[in-house]
Structure 1
Amino acid sequence: YVESSYPARSSGRNRHRSSNLLPRPFSVFRGYLFIMKQPLLEQETSSSSEATGTKSLFTDAGWFSIITFSWMGPLLDLGRKKPLDLHDVPSLDDSDSVHGVLPNFKAKIVSNSATGQFTDATAVKLAKAIVLTTWKPILVTAVYALLSSVASYVGPYLIEYFVDYLNKSSRSSREGYLLALTFVVAQLIEGLSTRHLQFRSKQVGVRARSSLVAAIYQKGLALSSQSRQSNSSGEMINVVSLDAECVGDFSRSMHDLWRLPVQIVLAMLLLYSTLGFCPAFAALLATALTIGGNKPLGRMEQNYQEKMMSAKDVRMRAMSEILQSMRILKLQGWEMIFLSKIIELRKVEMNWLKKNVYTSAMLLSIFFSAPAFVAMVTFGVCVLMGIPLETGKVLCALATFRQLQTPIHGLPDAYSMIIQTKVSLDRICSFLCLEEL
């Protein structure tokens, strides 16, 4: 294309004049512009199904296919027979592609902004824009989370009835079949709702991450010279690869803020119906004591997370400057001097990373030992109050404590994800608020 962009050769004096009309550097630049306008893939990505010629399997699937995930069957069967090519993979729906999500995301931010730009974006406004952009799948995942939480306690609730049924001298077959059928249906609902909760939550995370990455990229193209001097390309890479991904991963824990307390309430109600008020209240106090005792560790983890991300930015800025000035470093023989500087910055980053990991390990160790502590307190109160511990009640309580492990173990992860997401949102907002051209 560069050769074809030259003007036609002519003879004599006009040949020299015509060749100066389009210098070679400008021709090369025009050639690069032409190449950059070509899509990276053979198929257009601006629209979804019409561009690629294939429809979105998930969008066109029926309700039974969606419930059982059988809409993935043809693709998996084709992948079993041969390596998948680009044209074999179905296209995304417009609501799942960045071309469909980004305009809505930017419109939500602009509507909440006083200036109509990203320059006054805050973490609250950014989170609100993400929620308003993906509110439909968030609502669907909330229903799945509620179904999964309720169905998970049906099994422990039925254990006492199973034991009473087996201890009866005269058993009714109808009652036994009904108990078994109820247990199987509850487990089936729990399994399907949990799988769909994970799938839909990942879908929300992909939409949020795609919107943030596209917005950050467009912002990076419009930065002023002063903003580019104060923020290196390494910091922009950190914002895209770490912070945007952290916000997208928060979708897995977005319902834990209300789901985990609901599970704790269901466990306390089950213990109240099985052991009585005092043991259930003792179990609640033990659970609250375990959860409330980790607030200082949570604050320490937030502080270490912020320090670690700041140290990472400093190291990436130094790495970018060294790579850009590598010719000068080689000429002057300064490789080892600047290598020692990078090692020192890496040691600072590793120091904050170790403190963050150790704090997280302490949180996890406390919460893993919490169910045994709750069981010990509950059964101790039963022994002190003279409450008979029958076989059915003990088995039901143990099953409840086992189900109670899920909210107790999930609380440190959810709290940690909230802290990391807040830090990432603040960093993204600080980048989006930079001065533009």
Structure 2
Amino acid sequence: GKRNVKNQTGDREVASVLPALWKSNWYTIVISGIFKLVQDLLQLVSPLLLSLLIAHLGRSSNEEDWKGFLFMGALIVTVTLQTLCNNYYTYLASLIGMRLRCALVEAVYQKSLIISNKARRESTGGEISNLMSIDTQRFQDCMTFVHHIWSSPLQIVLTVYFLWNYLGVATISGVVILVILIPINIKVTVLLRTLRMEQMKKKDERVRLINEVLSSIKVLKLYAWEPSFEDRIKDIRQKEVKILRRLAYINAVLNSFWFTAPVVVTLASFATFVLIDDANVLDAQKIFVSLTLFNIMRLPMGLLPVIIGHLIQVNM
């Protein structure tokens, strides 16, 4: 999302598309953020209503049955509103991503028509095609998760707060595991960024060589250089595929790691709750509500590597 450009004094500055994106889509971005916030809050209301419903069903008397129907109706309404808000947020985020992609494609196309001869020699048609197809698509994909940058940490913090009200000190064991995962995630992110930059360099090198081959195909056939250039292209492609394979392995391990993390956190919290005090008992209310909260935490924790991956690609 950033490029080095020269100002009037000849010095290089970092240009970004983010200010232009905000000025042209700020209203839609704010509205989508509001719907995302409402959806997150409604998602956390569901465990509270479930707790009230389970507590009501656990009573021995059948008095005030209307409260049970009230809690159940409120739970249904909450889930319905949550789904509607989430769907509308997804629609707005996709709309922003599509607008951004169209604007970037047009900007790249217009720029390709007016670049100087020197810049035209440095940029091949394949590189411009990659910018208009692959790179712009990454921006569109990133906009789908743009609000998760603040939403995921907010959900995790609020979920931990509610878990503290149900499990008390035992929640610390789960939080400690989450804190341990942060530096691991940072190291993996740095590794992913390094590999992604290497892969982009190999891809640009391959596209540039293919463009040279296509533009000089008559000369290649005249001197029978096809096998030589074919070997060079295959060699670059093999190196690129090797890097892509490493990226796929790391992403697979990272995704599996983050999706299993909530399970480990749940087991650690429940085990700590039972072991720290013999008087602590895991009743139905604590188990179901805690599992619901841990399940809510699973999505933001699982989306973290996805968001980080998209940000790495867009930042390049």
Interval containing the TM-score (normalised by the shorter chain): over 0.9
Residues 1:420 and 2:297 aligned together:
no
Residue type of the alignment partner of 1:389 = L
CA distance in 2, matches of 1:115, 1:413: 33
Residue in 1 that maps onto 2:296: 403
**Aligned residue-pair number:** 309
Q: Which residue, out of 127, 132, 148, partners 2:39?
A: 148
Distance in 2 of aligned mates of 1:274 and 1:123:
49
Shift of 1:150: 1.1
- Shift of residue 116 of structure 1? 8.4
Normalised to the residue count of structure 2, the TM-score between the two structures is 0.92
Partner of residue 119 from structure 2, selected from 227, 235, 240: 227
Aligned partner of 2:175 in structure 1 is 284
2:83 to 191, 200, 213: 191
Note the C-alpha offset of 1:120.
8.1
The separation in 2 between residues aligned to 1:351 and 1:190, in whole angstroms, is 43
Matched, 1:368 2:259: yes
| Structure-2 separation of matches of 1:294 and 1:310 | 24
Alpha-carbon deviations, 1:236-295, whole Å to 9, x = none? 11111111111121111111111011111221121122122x122332222222233211
Find the aligned partners of 1:322 and 1:402 in 2 and give their Cα distance: 54
1:389 aligns with 2:282: yes
Give, in angstroms, the shift of residue 121 of structure 1.
8.6
Measured in 2, the distance between the counterparts of 1:366 and 1:184 equals 33
Letter in 1 for 2:314: T
Match for residue 349 of structure 1? 240
User: Deviation of residue 147 (structure 1)?
Assistant: 1.1
Larger helix fraction of residues: 2
Contact 1:375 1:401 in 2 (8 A): yes
Partners of 1:124 and 1:256 in 2: how far apart?
24
Aligned Cα RMSD in Å?
A: 2.0
Q: Secondary structure at the match of 2:17?
A: helix
Distance in 1 of aligned mates of 2:178 and 2:286: 20
Q: How many Å apart are 1:360 and its aligned residue?
A: 1.1
Higher Cα Rg: structure 1 or 2? 1
SS at 1:169 equivalent: coil
Look up the equivalent residue of 1:319 and give its one-letter code: I
* SS of residue matched to 2:16: helix
Residue type of the alignment partner of 2:36: A
SS at match of 1:294: helix
| 1-structure distance, mates of 2:22, 2:311 | 15
Q: Distance in 2 between matches of 1:160 and 1:225?
A: 69
Distance 2:233 2:161 in 1: 57
Partner of residue 380 from structure 1, selected from 271, 277, 289: 271
CA separation of 1:140 and 1:322: change in aligned 2, threshold 3 A: same
What's 2:206 paired with? Answer: 315
- Please give the secondary structure, in 1, of the residue aligned with 2:137: helix
1:129 matched to 2:42? no
Q: Does the 8 Å CA contact 1:123/1:422 hold for their aligned counterparts?
A: no
Gaps spanning 5+ residues in structure 1: where? 1-113, 424-437
Aligned-pair identity (%): 27
Q: What is the aligned partner in structure 2 of residue 72 from structure 1?
A: none
- Write the distance in 1 (CA, Å) between the matches of 2:263 and 2:206: 43
Aligned partners of 2:258 and 2:303: how far apart in 1?
Answer: 9
Cα contact 1:264–1:407 (8 A) shared by 2? yes
Q: Work out whether residues 246 and 420 of structure 1, in 8 Å CA contact, stay in contact via their aligned partners in 2.
A: yes
Q: Using the alignment, how far apart are the partners of 2:162 and 2:284 within structure 1?
A: 16
Retained in 2: the 8 A contact 1:147–1:189?
Answer: no
Structure 1 CA distance, aligned partners of 2:159 and 2:134?
37
Q: Which runs of 5+ in 2 are unaligned?
A: none
Asked if the contact 1:271/1:279 (under 8 Å) is kept, the reply is no
Q: Where has structure 1 moved over 4 Å in runs of 4 or more?
A: 114-117, 119-124
Higher-RCO chain (CA-CA 8 Å, sequence separation at least 6):
2
Instruction: Give a deviation string over 1:126-171, Cα, whole Å, max 9, x none.
Output: 2222122211110011011101111112222222222221121223
Q: Does 1:304 align with 2:199?
A: no
> Which SS does the other structure have where 1:168 is aligned?
coil
Residue 122 of structure 1 deviates from its aligned partner by 5.9
2:61 is aligned to 170
